Amino acid sequence: MTAAVETELTTTIHGDRVSLLRVLGPAHVWALGVGIVLVGEFTGWNFAADKGGALAALIVCWIVGLLYTSVAMIDSEVTSTVAAAGGQYAQAKHIVGPLMAFNVALFLVFAYTMLEVSDAILLGDTIVAKAGVEGLTHNSFIAATIVVLAWLNYRGVLMTLNVNFVITAIAYVSIVILFFSVSPWTQGAVLKLNELVTPANALPYGWIGVIAAFQFGIWYYLGIEGTTQAAEEVRSPARSLPYGTMAGMITLLIAAAMTWYVCASLMPWEYLGITYYPLWDAGKLTGSPLLENLLFIATLLAALASANGCINDAARAWFSAVHPKYRTLYRSILFVLPMALAFAFIADLNQAITFSILSGVLQYTFMSINIMMFRKKWPLGSIRRGYTHPFHPLPAIVLFCLCMVTFFAIFLGFGSQLIAMTVFYFLISLWFHFYRYKFVRRGDQFSMPWPRPQGY
C-alpha cells in the first residue's frame, strides 16, 4: 500500500465514522470564495447607484472592501486554527457556545440559500431576456439550475470545485477583456465618465445616499467568507485557507474597480441603478456583438458558479451525515434543496438579495466579537495558530463599526424586513434556549485538542 493511499484512508475513516476527504488546495479555496462572490460584479452592486449615485457606488466599493478585508483577515486566523467543517459554526461552538453556534448556523444557511436563490433568478431572467420569446418564463430555468447543481454537490466536492474554478476563471477573464476592449486609458473614445459623472450628479442624494448605498455595496464581496466552510476538506488549512481567501479578496477588489469604471462610463447612474445586467448592458453599449455575447455567457457562468458554491457552503453550515461513497454532506444538501426552490418561486431578486445581505451582516457582526473572545481565551503562544492576522484589534473594531453602518443602511431601504428578520432570529433563539438547550451535550463544545481556555 502506498503512502498516498494510507494518507487517504486515515483522513476518511476514523473508527466507524465516515469523514470528509482532504482533497482541496489553495486554487479550490480561491474558486469557492471568488466563485460565490463574482456574480456580484454582474448584478447587485449597481443597485448602490440607485441609492446614492454612481460615485456613491465607488465609495462603498472601497469602504466595504475594507470591511471584507477585515473579514478575510479574521476568518483566516480563526479558521486555519479551528480547521473543521462548518466554518463559522464550528468556531462559534468552540469559542462562544451552543446558542451562538445555533444562530450562526441559521445566518449562514439563510445567507447562502438566499444568495443561491438570487443567482438562479438572475440566470433565468438573463436567458429569458436574451431569448426574447413572448410567454417564456424563468421558472423552468430556475428549477433546473438548483436541482442540477444540488446533484453535482451530492456527487463530490472535488468535482464541484473543479467546475467552479473553470467557470469562475472564464467569467473573471470576461471582465478583464471588456475592460481592455473599451480603451480605458482614453476617455471619450468609448467611455464617457466625465460626461456621465459630473459634480452636479455624482452624489445626487448627498452623503446620506452614500450611507444608503452600503446595503448593496455588500454585494461586491458577499460570500468570500465561504472559503472557511471547506476547512476540513483542505489538505493544508494553515497555508491554503489564508492564501486562497486573501488571493480571492485581492481578485475581487480588482474586478470591482474595473466593473465600476466601465459601467459608470457607459451608463447614466439612473439606468445603472435599476438594470439587472450592468456588465451585459455594458457589452451591448460597446457596439461589439462579440463583447455582448461574451458578457451574456459570463453572466450565466458567474450565476452558476455562485449558486454552486452556495450549495456547497449551505450544506456545511452544520455538519450532518457524510455519504459513505461520495464523502459529501448529502442530507444537508437534500434538506436545503426544497427550501431554495420554494424561495426562488416566491421572492423577487431585490428581496432575495436583501435577505442574504442581512443574514451575512449579522454573521460578520458575530465575527468581530468572536475574534476578541478567541484572542482573550487563547492568547498568542497558548495554542498553535495556522495564521495570525496583524493589527489586532483594529480589524475587529473596523468590522463592527462598518456592520453597524450597514444595518442602518438596510433600515433606510428595507426597514420592515430588517425588523421582521431581527424578531425572527430573537424568537428562534428563545426557542433554542428554553427547549433545545437541555439536549445539548456541553462536553462536545470544546472539540479541539487545546488547553482549557483562560477564565473557563
Largest CA distance in the chain: 73
First CA to last CA distance, the chain: 45
Domain residue limits, the chain: 24-439
How high is the pLDDT of residue 226?
Answer: 73
How high is the pLDDT of residue 335?
Answer: 86
pTM for this predicted structure: 0.86
Residue with grid cell 460570500, as numbered in its chain = 223
CB atoms within 10 A of CB 52: 29
How high is the pLDDT of residue 7?
Answer: 34
Q: Any residues with CB less than 8 A from the CB of 252 and at least 6 apart, and which? A: 34, 37, 38, 41, 65, 68, 220, 221, 224
Number of helices (H) and strands (E) in the chain: give both, helices first: 18, 2
- With vertex at residue 66, the alpha carbon angle to CA 61 and CA 68, rounded to the nearest 5 degrees, is 90
- Inter-residue contact 108 to 366 (CB < 8 Å): no
Residue with grid cell 425588523, as numbered in its chain = 419
Q: How far apart are CA 351 and CA 183, in angstroms?
A: 36
Q: How far apart are CA 294 and CA 338, in angstroms?
A: 32
| Cell matching residue 171 | 467569467
How high is the pLDDT of residue 181?
Answer: 94
Per-residue pLDDT tens, the chain, 456 aa: give them: 333 333 333 334 444 455 566 667 777 788 878 888 899 999 989 999 999 999 999 999 999 999 999 988 888 888 778 766 566 777 888 888 888 888 988 898 888 899 999 999 999 999 999 998 888 888 899 999 999 999 988 887 777 778 888 899 999 999 999 999 999 988 888 899 999 999 989 999 999 999 999 999 998 998 888 776 666 667 777 777 788 888 889 999 999 999 999 999 999 999 999 999 999 999 999 999 999 999 999 999 999 999 988 888 787 766 566 777 777 777 888 888 998 999 988 887 777 888 889 899 999 998 999 999 999 988 988 888 878 888 899 999 999 999 999 999 999 888 888 898 889 989 999 999 898 888 877 666 666 777 877 776
Dihedrals φ, ψ of 383, to 5°? -140, 165
Do strands 17-18 and 13-14 pair parallel, antiparallel, or not at all (unpaired)?
A: antiparallel
- Inter-residue contact 24 to 233 (CB < 8 Å): yes
Which homologous superfamily does the CATH classification assign to the domain defined by 24-439? Answer: Amino acid/polyamine transporter I (1.20.1740.10)
CB atoms within 10 A of CB 370: 23
Q: Any residues with CB less than 8 A from the CB of 189 and at least 6 apart, and which? A: 182, 183
Q: How far apart are CA 193 and CA 298, in angstroms?
A: 24
DSSP sequence for 209-227: HHHHHHHHHGGGTTTGGGG
Q: What share of the chain is helix, strand, coil (3-state, %, to 5)?
A: 75, 0, 25
How high is the pLDDT of residue 444?
Answer: 64
Residue of 316, 83, 349, 295 lying closest to 182 (CA atoms)? 295
Q: What is the DSSP letter of 438?
A: G
Residue of 296, 268, 282, 356 lying closest to 57 (CA atoms)? 268
